[in-house]
Amino acid sequence: MIKIYHNKQCSKSCAALDFLQEHTVDLQVQEYLEEVPSKAELIEILSQLGLKPLALIRKNEALFLEKFQHLQLTDEEWVEVMLQNPILIERPIVIKDGKAVIGRPLERVIELFTPRSS
């Protein structure tokens, strides 16, 4: 099962979704602005990405610049900010076999499908 947290208004997210639809049949699409991840789900995504919450926030987003850029919050507080303002979550996020990537650029998504040599 491959899952994409998708924003249909984002060209990068649409490009990732197009790639996934061409290369997999077992795909789950979650439009995260309409179906916001749960707190537990967001924490799991961060773990799979290997990122702190602040690293998953879109810092060029107008909302961030207006309300949050000067704040010093804890990781848990940043998670709450993303849950209350999902537009701030970087996109797209693609999860395959317990590994997640932010699909910007698209090559990161493609790498999920590339077998690794050991």
pLDDT of 117 reads 54
At residue 115, does pLDDT exceed 80? no
Among residues 75, 1, 6, 71, the alpha carbon closest in space to that of 37 is found at 6
Q: Are 103 and 95 in contact (CB under 8 A)?
A: no
Q: How far apart are CA 103 and CA 34, in angstroms?
A: 19
pLDDT of 42 reads 98
- For the residues 97-118, what does the mean pLDDT come to? 86
Which comes out higher in pLDDT, residue 117 or 5?
A: 5
Among all residues, which ones are annotated catalytic?
Answer: 10
- Specify the pTM: 0.92
User: Using one digit for the tens of pLDDT, what is the confidence trace for 45-92?
Assistant: 999 999 999 999 999 999 999 999 999 999 999 999 999 999 999 999
Q: How far apart are CA 94 and CA 27, in angstroms?
A: 10
User: Using one digit for the tens of pLDDT, what is the confidence trace for 3-26?
Assistant: 999 999 999 999 999 999 999 879
User: Using one digit for the tens of pLDDT, what is the confidence trace for 85-101?
Assistant: 999 999 999 999 999 99
